[in-house]
Amino acid sequence: MKYVAMVAIALMSNTLFAQEVYYSRTSYTNNSTAQGVAEIQARNCKMSHMGGNTGYEGVGYSSRSSDDAIKNCCYWGQRKPVEIGVAKGRNGWYACVRYK
């Protein structure tokens, strides 16, 4: 079975650019990147902090869209994002945003 993940990149103008990438259930993911955290959350259908970084980390969920999942992350609009990851799980979108 293949899952789709949305890789979102924060641009200087605070807009998001998203690109679909595909990964299999057996693909390797870890918590060293925001995308890895989003994929772990989507696979487990559970929103949770995974750590693995030295800055601030926010996680979010939405059943509506990937943009809503990002906007629901902790610290969104309060800190400057440096890395954003989004993945679609069975029941919705999971996001992880890492900040300075």
Please compute the mean of the pLDDT values over residues 38-66 and round it to a whole number.
Answer: 91
Average pLDDT, the chain: 80
pLDDT at 82 over 60: yes
Report the percentage of the chain scoring pLDDT > 70: 71
* Helix/strand number for the chain, H first, E second: 2, 5
Which of 45, 33, 36 has its CA nearest to residue 93? Answer: 45
Q: What is the residue type of 52?
A: G
User: Is a pLDDT exceeding 50 seen at residue 19?
Assistant: no
Tell me the mean pLDDT in the region 4-33: 52
- In whole angstroms, how far apart are CA 40 and each of 3, 14, 43, 63, 78? 12, 25, 5, 17, 25
Mean pLDDT in residue range 60-66: 97
Confidence of residue 22 (pLDDT cuts 50, 70, 90): very low
